[in-house]
Structure 1
Amino acid sequence: MCEFNIIIVTILKDKVRPVFPFTAIVGQEEMKLALLLNVIDPKIGGVMIMGDRGTGKSTTIRAIADLLPKIEVVQDDLFNSHPSDYDLMSDSVKSQIESSNHLPTRFIDVPMVDLPLGATEDRVCGTIDIEKALSEGVKTFEPGLLAKANRGILYVDEVNLLDDHLVDILLDAAASGWNTVEREGISVRHPARFVLVGSGNPEEGELRPQLLDRFGMHAEIRTVKEPSLRVKIVEQRSKFDSNPYICLEEFRDKQDELKSSIIAAQQRLPDVKIDYDLRVKISEVCGTLDVDGLRGDIVTNRAAKAYAAYKNKTKVDINDIKTVITLCLRHRLRKDPLETIDSGYKVQQVVDNILN
């Protein structure tokens, strides 16, 4: 009997903690679409999710990470380096490739890294052991959260409460795809390609407009009001909590179908085209809304292409743009830190006039 109990405990320890299936999430279509488009094209620049407490923000973000296919990494590498893409390799892996033809690799789940509110800059960026460097001449780097998040998702809950300096570091790394740590004249640089996802409650304050503009998309979520939908959400959650493995089995086909759609969209994305006339209309909308800079134009173009790829198309049409443009522009209209973010009404008015 004792041996049987030991076997059961071992099996449970070996099992990965189950994650609520993405396809079982009811409602919150804006948030789900923004996350899907960002994993199809990480160059969109991440997503800021703002909304009421208890609306499934964290659950949905973890669910999208669990949905993604495994990635191939160089074995024992600290930065999840890609075995063949130079842009996704650390310097040590590059030097090993130059001196050797083969590096052992393995497949891992897409990294899903949580950044805690109390994190320090060293915890986020990593640290260089100065003492060892000076005494032994060895450049020793202790990787931070940006290294662990490379080729994955970096999630910052309550990002609006995070120190502005740290938010700046995250956004710079997300935009450039690299993290550089410099201490006492010693510098270490490593790839940091990740989808940055921030969430928060607007009642606790908004990010400064300059920082908010750096997020590719902004999704708003609200508490579901319709009683039947609320009941469905509660039932789904209760079913998962009582027996997650039965729930996962129930949604396995839908999960596999969505996973295949994401992989196909990622492969199709380089071939998706958008006509010049439509690009002009996107820029006309941005100009009419007085959007500062060109980030709004760039992100809308990328998001429209990603959506077209997701819909199994190689050419963007006007409906693709209409679907994504509010997500890409609503947070760029706020000029004054004291203003609230437009819910999308202003964007929709201009879109209806120009994209008809």
Structure 2
Amino acid sequence: MMNHYPLAAVVGADALKLALCLAAIDPKLGGVLIEGPRGMAKSTLARGLADLLDGGAFVTLPLGASEERLIGTLDLDAALGQGQVRFSPGVLAAADGGVLYVDEVNLLPDHLVDVLLDVAASGVNRIERDGLSHQHPARFVLVGTMNPEEGELRPQLLDRFGLNLALDQVPAPAERGEIVRRRLAFDSDPAAFTQQWAAAQAALRARCQAAREQLPGIALDEAALAQINQRCHAAGVDGLRADLVWLRAARAHAAWRGAGGIEQVDIDAVAEFALRHRRKPAPPAQQPPASPPQEAPGAGGGGDWGSLPAQAQPMGARRAVPGWPKKP
């Protein structure tokens, strides 16, 4: 069995670890979109998440994959010759019960992102072709990553990711050193490193499992909903997906704490996850109107900039002109 870097051993990245755990507690949140440059341990964290899902699979969608590779295919020849539908599963079927990791999701064609988000939200993959249809469970936690410098997602697709956060912090020197030491220890002996962190990883797995079991008993109460509605309205978000995701995430956070209901701390803890990619950007600040040109000192009121008032000039000696003045 391949050893993955334990999520419990990751240094820092507390916000990202929390968002991933919330998505594991309630997969109906719609997945997590992580923004940030390379080298921020995004794939390491996503792999560690799979271990919290009762040993679920970790499946990566290859960049450049076709729609058939993603959703699977139906064998028409078998249907015509044998009278039965033969289905060849794709990536979505392999990810059922685990984590589907999509690196550089902003570089995928829009129609594939649409399919991913539809299935992540419904938990079912439906394939239809030439009058034949097939469906199968596809319940997974969708984790997408993107580097905004390489292109943005359309707002319509961005909104459909449940939670969003950015990894833009620069670790302090001491934290960087600990990250490097742990990584070198894992690379040197993955089995020994995993065993070293087995107890902490088991505790994290048990906490997620307990939260999943407690989740249905936590009410989506009206007081929490009213506050979330007010704050979404103040943020100027379009549609109602932010309200729904925020309320679900607050409930998952309450379950994560082991609480029996949603409290203020739960609403505040997940606010940025739900609003970051849905909040309307502030309108650009309007520049004050340009001042009219100043008139030069001494200028008249006619507004002719640069003109000077007429001034008397002394007359010099007249030049003699032949025949002037005339003699009497």
Q: TM-score, normalised by structure 2?
A: 0.83
CA contact (8 A) 1:22 1:64 kept: yes
Q: 1:328 is aligned with what amino acid? A: A
Match of 1:241 among 178, 183, 187: 187
- Matching of residue 68 in structure 1 with residue 53 in structure 2: yes
Find the residue that maps to 1:193 and give its secondary structure. Answer: coil
**CA drift at 1:66:** 2.0
Residue 151 (structure 1) aligns with:
97
Give the match for residue 296 of structure 1: 242
Q: Deviations over 1:57-107 (max 9, x none)?
A: 0000001112332xxxxxxxxxxxxxxxxxxxxxxxxxxxxxxxxxxxxxx
Stretches of structure 1 lacking an aligned partner (at least 5 in a row): 1-15, 70-108, 340-356
| CA gap 1:334/1:287 in 2 versus in 1, 3 angstroms | closer
1:129 aligned residue: 75
Counterpart residue identity of residue 32, structure 1: K
Contact preservation (8 Å) 1:209, 1:335: no
Greater C-alpha Rg? 2
Cα distance in 2, alignment partners of residues 272 and 255 from structure 1? 25
From 23, 33, 50, the equivalent of 2:18 is 33
Amino acid at match of 2:70: V
Three-state SS of the structure 1 residue aligned to 2:183 is helix
Distance (Å, rounded) in 1 between the aligned partners of 2:194 and 2:132: 48
Residue identity in the other structure for 1:284:
Q
Per-residue deviation, residues 324-348 of structure 1 (Å, max 9, x unmatched) = 0110111012579xx9xxxxxxxxx
In the alignment, does 2:134 pair up with 1:188? yes
1:49 aligns to what? 34
Residues 334, 192 of structure 1: CA spacing in aligned structure 2 closer, same or farther, 3 A cutoff? Answer: farther
1:22 is the counterpart of 2:7: yes
Is the CA contact (8 Å cut-off) linking 1:209 and 1:334 kept in structure 2? Answer: no
Instruction: Give the counterpart letter for 1:206 in structure 2.
Output: E
| 2:177 corresponds to which of 226, 231, 245 | 231
Structure-2 separation of matches of 1:113 and 1:245 = 21
Once the 2 structures are TM-superposed, how far is the Cα of residue 236 of structure 1 from its aligned partner? 0.8
Give, as a single letter, the amino acid of the residue that structure 2 aligns with 1:299.
Answer: V
**Stretch moving more, 325-334 or 209-218:** 325-334
Output the CA distance in 2 between the equivalents of 1:161 and 1:133: 35
Number of the residue aligned with 1:332:
278
- Matched residue count: 283
Q: Distance in 2 between matches of 1:206 and 1:334?
A: 15
Asked if the contact 1:52/1:223 (under 8 Å) is kept, the reply is no
The more displaced of 282-291 and 172-181 is 172-181
Distance 2:123 2:6 in 1: 29
- Give the structure with the higher percent helix: 1
Find the aligned partners of 1:249 and 1:149 in 2 and give their Cα distance. 26
AA of the residue aligned to 2:57: P
Question: What does residue 152 of structure 2 align with?
Answer: 206
String of CA shifts for 1:24-72, please: whole Å, max 9, x gaps. Answer: 1011112111100000011111010111210100000001112332xxx
SS of 2:112's partner is helix
Q: Does structure 2 retain, via aligned residues, the 8 Å contact 1:37–1:303? A: yes
Distance 2:53 2:78 in 1: 39
The answer as to whether partners of 2:53 and 2:97 remain within 8 angstroms in 1 is no
TM-fit CA distance, 1:138:
2.1
CA distance in 2, matches of 1:64, 1:192: 17
* 2:225 equivalent in structure 1: 279
Query: 1:156, 1:58 → 2: CA distance?
Result: 9
CA contact (8 A) 2:220 2:248 kept: no
CA RMSD of aligned residues (A): 1.6
Secondary structure of the 1:211 match is: helix
- Aligned identity (percent) is 49
Distance in 2 of aligned mates of 1:292 and 1:168: 19
Q: Secondary structure at the match of 2:160?
A: coil
Identify the residue that residue 311 of structure 1 maps to in structure 2.
Answer: 257
Aligned counterpart for 1:140 among listed residues 86, 110, 117: 86
CA offsets 1:168-214 (integer angstroms, 9 cap, x no match) = 01111112222111111111122222211101111111110000100
What amino acid does structure 2 have at the position aligned with 1:144?
A: G
Counterpart residue type for residue 225 of structure 1: P
Tell me the equivalent position of 1:219.
Answer: 165
- Work out the CA distance in 2 between the residues paired with 1:224 and 1:151: 34
Deviation for aligned residue 1:235: 0.6
What is the CA–CA distance in structure 1 between the aligned matches of 2:130 and 2:271, rounded to whole Å? Answer: 45
Q: State whether residues 128 and 183 of structure 1, in contact with CA within 8 Å, keep that contact through their aligned partners in structure 2.
A: yes
For structure 2, the residue ranges without an aligned partner over 5 or more in a row are 285-328
Does 2:209 match 1:263?
A: yes
Q: Please, what TM-score do these two structures have when normalized by structure 1?
A: 0.77
| Distance across 2 between alignment mates of 1:331 and 1:214 | 10
- Structure 2: distance between partners of 1:119 and 1:133: 26
